[in-house]
Chains A and B, each alone.
Chain A
Amino acid sequence: DAGVIQSPRHEVTEMGQEVTLRCKPISGHDYLFWYRQTMMRGLELLIYFNNNVPIDDSGMPEDRFSAKMPNASFSTLKIQPSEPRDSAVYFCASSLGSSHEQYFGPGTRLTVT
């Protein structure tokens, strides 16, 4: 398996623009997680899905952030409008049911200027 796939790997955008990050989980995994990593706050869970249904979005910073999972093989994290403080590395991870460990993608490094 190719592992968790994220795109783009790097994104540079201007403040106010819409940003869409994409994730393809490992085939067969039924849980998908979005994390944000910054030097100041470390690794933060933003939202996670089970069988394509959002379960907990309490980590989503504000209404500018939204996430969807239209099918088992694809998820998006959207920021609209983007702000410089959104600059971070965003990770997607997936796991299988009762399996305990999560598998992380390579991340998307977002820079908002």
Chain B
Amino acid sequence: AQSVAQPEDQVNVAEGNPLTVKCTYSVSGNPYLFWYVQYPNRGLQFLLKYITGDNLVKGSYGFEAEFNKSQTSFHLKKPSALVSDSALYFCAVRDELDGDFNKFYFGSGTKLNVKP
């Protein structure tokens, strides 16, 4: 069965420091992996995706994520956090071998707090 785990409910980081938001997944086939960000009272916004190719994916607002097949992880990273990065972050996966490939499986979300 497909699943996504975001082990941290909340991540706290000081502005200017690097940040990491963790995500691990479980799928039957090759994963299609995504990160979304949700600001208060807003819908989810697409940040980046991994489909195939280079394991390091660059996305919007200076975020990047690294696909690690052996660890089944897709952690979101940013070299230098901004206060404006404070939001709720969701990891999602689609399973290449899922009978219903159109379905996304979302993690529970990680709240990122960046303090000045």
Q: A42-B108, A100-B94 are in contact. Are A56 and B100 (CB under 8 A)?
A: yes
Question: Is residue B90 contacting chain A, with contact meaning CB distance below 8 A?
Answer: yes
The interface-forming segment of A13-21, A65-73, A74-82, A101-109 is: A101-109
For chain A, the bracket of interface size reads 20 to 34
Q: A100-B32, A101-B34 are in contact. Are A42 and B106 (CB under 8 A)?
A: yes
A105 touches B43 (CB 8 A): yes
B102 touches A100 (CB 8 A): no
Docked Cα-Cα span, A93 to B44, in Å, equals 9
B45 to chain A: which residues have CB within 8 Å?
104
Interface residues, chain B, CB within 8 Å of chain A?
32, 34, 36, 41-46, 49, 51, 90, 94, 100, 102-104, 106-109
Interface residues, chain A, CB within 8 Å of chain B?
4, 31, 33, 42-43, 45, 48, 50, 55-56, 91, 93, 95, 100-107, 109
